[in-house]
Amino acid sequence: MKFKYTDYHIHTNWSVDIKDNGPTFRDYLEIAERAKINICFLEHYELYYIERDKNNPFYNGKIDDYLEELDQLKENYNFFLKGLEVDYYKDREVELMEFMDDYGKELDFIGGTVHEWIYTYPVTSRERLERLLNKIPMKQVIDDYFETYRKMIESKIFKNVCHIDTIYRYINENDIKPSDDCDTSDERILNLGRLCKKNNIRIEYNLSGVRFPIKRPFPSKQIVSQLKLEGAKFFISSDSHSLEFFEETFPKVIQAYEFLGLID
C-alpha cells in the first residue's frame, strides 16, 4: 500500500444506506490521495436483504460486478483495499462460512458485524430500535446484542470485527437512557474485546460515534487503551457514509494510529 495509514471502513453508493447518487469509489479516492491515507471500501453485505431485496446493490450476484469495478480501479490506484462489512446471523453460519470460502480470497479485508439479530430490526437505526424497544425490554435487547456478538466471535468466521459496542449508538445517557436494570458496564465491552484477543481477532476502533449524541468512538478511548495494554489488536476507521465526514475525520484516524502506536 502506498501510504502509512489506512482508514478501514468506507461506504460508497454500493451500500444500501447510501443513495444511488451518493459518493463513488473515485470520489473518496481523490480525497484519500490528497490526504495521503489508504482506504478500504467496506460496503454492507447482508445475506438476508441481498436474497430478498431487488434494490439491494448486491442483489442477484452483483458482488462480481463490485469486484470487477474495483479490480479495474486497481490499475490506476494503489492505495485502496477491496472489503466488505458482512453481517453475522447466528442461524446462517453455514452460508457465511461458504461465502468466506468462495470470496474470502478475492477480497482484501472482511469485517464481521452485528447490526440486528431479529431480522429487520437493526439497532443502528434509531427508528427501528424504538420499535424493538416497544416489543422487548431494554435489558434483554442489550443482553441479546452481547450474546449475538459473542457468538460471532466464537464462530471464528471473521478475523476482524466492527464496532463491538454499537448497541450504545442510541442507548446512552445523551439519547435513549438505559433503564436501571441494564448492565452497561465497561467490563462487559472489555470482555468481548478479551474474547477477540483470545481468538486472534482484530477489533475496530470506529471513530463514527461523534456523528451521534454519544459523541465517542466505538469502543471508547479508555476501553481501547485498556485492551491495547492487554495485547489486543486493532484496525482504525471513520465508518464514513459521506465525503464530508471522511474529509473531517481522516486527521483523527491518523491521530488514533499514532496514539495506539500502530502501523499497517
Q: Given the rule CB under 5 A, which residues bind Zn ion? A: 85, 113, 239
Residues 6 or more apart whose Cβ sits within 8 Å of residue 163: 113, 204, 206, 208, 218, 239
DSSP characters for 230-260? TT--EEEE--BSSHHHHHHHHHHHHHHHHHH
The CA distance from 142 to 147, in Å, is 9
Nearer to Zn ion, 139 or 150 (CB): 150
Name which of 181, 251, 229, 243 is nearest 37 in CA terms: 251
Least separation in angstroms between CB 76 and Zn ion: 25
Least separation in angstroms between CB 114 and Zn ion: 9
Least separation in angstroms between CB 191 and Zn ion: 21
The CA distance from 126 to 59, in Å, is 25
Nearer to Zn ion, 169 or 228 (CB): 169
Nearer to Zn ion, 12 or 113 (CB): 113
Least separation in angstroms between CB 85 and Zn ion: 5
> Cell triple for residue 86?
458482512
Least separation in angstroms between CB 252 and Zn ion: 17
Nearer to Zn ion, 85 or 116 (CB): 85
Within 10 Å of residue 217's Cβ, how many Cβ atoms? 23
Least separation in angstroms between CB 196 and Zn ion: 16
CA distances from 257 to 31, 167, 207, 235 (A): 19, 24, 12, 9
The CA distance from 235 to 260, in Å, is 10
Least separation in angstroms between CB 199 and Zn ion: 20
Nearer to Zn ion, 12 or 38 (CB): 12
Nearer to Zn ion, 38 or 208 (CB): 208
3-class DSSP assignment, residue 109: strand
Burial 225-262 (b: 16+ CB within 10 A, else e): ebbbeeebbbbbbbbbbebebbbebbebbbebbeebeb
Q: Which amino acid is at 219?
A: P
Nearer to Zn ion, 6 or 113 (CB): 113
